Amino acid sequence: MGRTNFLTSAATALLAWLLAMRVKVCTVAHFRLQLKPISRRSAWGCFAVFAALVSTSCTTSVRANPLTVVNPASAPVAGVNDVEDKTKDVRAGSTTAGRHDDTTATAPSSGVTIRSPVPDLSNLPNSSYTLPKGGVYVEMIPLVLQGASNDSPKLYNCGILLRYGLTNFMEVQLYTLGFSVQGQPQPTTGFSPLTFETKIHLSEDSWKYFNYSLGFEAYVQTTWGSEAFDSGTQYALTMNVDHALPCDVALNWNLGFVVKDSPTGEEVVEPSFLWALQRDVINDLAVFIQGYINNESLPSSRPDGKTTAKDVTEYAVGAGSQWTLNDRVALFGSYNVGLNQFTPDYAGTLGFAVAF
């Protein structure tokens, strides 16, 4: 695809999003990005515009192929004119970008490896990449501790995410925060509702000074769970983007919206933005910083509090790491802190992922 078409489409889509989300920038001394709830029509309209732009300008883009092990003996010697191709290799080797092409590792006989793509639960934003056809990931976070806020009590969850590759560019997922314990003032236990999700890898490309990978994700949270943790039917659409930056740093960000009911019973559309910067410090060990405005990438079982959704904007930042033990298993953990009274004081997670 032509880079001019892509940049024009991306800029137009971004402007549409900013207008719909009513971005407010305060003074330089107190910079803040505030995403207010928007109308349902505006949200769907912006996604329609973005989808049309992507479909017209990205039709010839190159998508990532499933991980293959390169035979070093048959690989050609890189020449001077191959400098630009190395940008693709850097992006492919980025853990946050999803496709971790480690030619020193031996791929499992099934062709599925936890290195490509990386687990979605390891950090806040979800990767744009999908599992290869027939691939299965089991991602589990047995320890999820969340502090209280003005809008929710303390919570403990034991979440699990099941992922299956329908094709090389589309996967289906089943997610739940599982067994949940709610603290004061109304302590209770139960099970969080099930969530059905799908993710599509749309396109990727790399030029001399710019690269990207683009995905699209949608989920529906059901009411199939304990009544105490039933926050109503929610559904969301998200644009997932990955970039490889200089110094082997990978940038992953998500932009989307969640449709849910406010405590007053009114249906609202809440925009969200998530980001993470990640880098390998040694082989198989990566560290990252992350943050979000409003919602996390997967739905939460947090019960609605005394404030209305229109009054709430959540901000959080944090850090974490991911340790890839082998081609089958990865361990990860993170810790986030809330930046205002509506965001949980803290949120810590420890989990693992297994590829089949």
> Does any domain span residue 274?
yes
Instruction: Output the pLDDT for position 267.
Output: 81
Instruction: Output the pLDDT for position 51.
Output: 56
Lowest mean pLDDT among 53-57, 168-172, 294-298: 53-57
> Does any domain span residue 12?
no
DSSP letters along 8-36, please?
Answer: HHHHHHHHHHHHHHT-EE--GGG--EE--
DSSP letters along 220-267, please?
Answer: EE-S-S-GGG----EEEEEEEEEEEEGGGEEEEEEEEEEEEE-TTS-E
Selected residue with higher pLDDT from 231 and 62: 231
Instruction: Output the pLDDT for position 327.
Output: 95
The CA-to-CA distance between both ends of the chain, in Å, stands at 34
Rounded mean pLDDT of 182-209? 93
> Does any domain span residue 235?
yes
**Parent domain of 191:** 87-355
Lowest mean pLDDT among 93-107, 124-138, 320-334: 93-107
Evaluate if residue 27 carries a pLDDT over 90. Answer: no
> Does any domain span residue 282?
yes
With H, G, I as helix, E, B as strand and everything else as coil, classify residue 130. coil
Show Cβ contacts of residue 260 under 8 Å, excluding neighbours closer than 6 positions: 231, 232, 234, 267, 268, 270, 309
Could you give the number of structural domains in the chain? 1
Omega of the bond prior to 117 within 30 degrees of 0, cis? yes
Evaluate if residue 249 carries a pLDDT over 80. Answer: yes
Please give the Cα distance from 352 to 208 (Å, whole number): 36
Q: How far from the centroid of its chain's Cα atoms is residue 253's Cα?
A: 7
Instruction: Output the pLDDT for position 262.
Output: 72
Rounded mean pLDDT of 20-47? 49
% of the chain at pLDDT higher than 70: 64
Query: Which tens digits make up the pLDDT trace of 102-119?
Result: 434 444 555 789 998 999
Evaluate if residue 317 carries a pLDDT over 90. Answer: yes
> Does any domain span residue 233?
yes
Evaluate if residue 335 carries a pLDDT over 50. Answer: yes
Evaluate if residue 164 carries a pLDDT over 60. Answer: yes
Please give the Cα distance from 61 to 6 (Å, whole number): 10
Evaluate if residue 89 carries a pLDDT over 50. Answer: no
Rounded mean pLDDT of 167-176? 96
Please give the Cα distance from 272 to 314 (Å, whole number): 9
Crossing angle of helices 40-57 and 3-21, in 10° steps, is 180
CATH number at residue 204: 2.40.160.40
Residue 56 phi/psi, 5-degree rounding, is -85, -30
Instruction: Output the pLDDT for position 66.
Output: 39
Please give the Cα distance from 334 to 347 (Å, whole number): 8
> Does any domain span residue 126?
yes
Evaluate if residue 90 carries a pLDDT over 90. Answer: no
Does residue 58 contact residue 6 with C-beta atoms inside 8 Å? yes
Which DSSP state fits 116?
B
> Does any domain span residue 37?
no
Please give the Cα distance from 117 to 147 (Å, whole number): 31
Evaluate if residue 92 carries a pLDDT over 50. Answer: no
Residue carrying the six token digits 């302590």: 187
Instruction: Output the pLDDT for position 96.
Output: 43
Rounded mean pLDDT of 28-42? 49
> Does any domain span residue 183?
yes
Selected residue with higher pLDDT from 198 and 22: 198
Q: Band of the pLDDT at 41, cuts 50, 70, 90?
A: low
- Under the phi-then-psi rule, with left for phi > 0, alpha for psi from -120 to 50, and beta for the rest, what region is 247? left
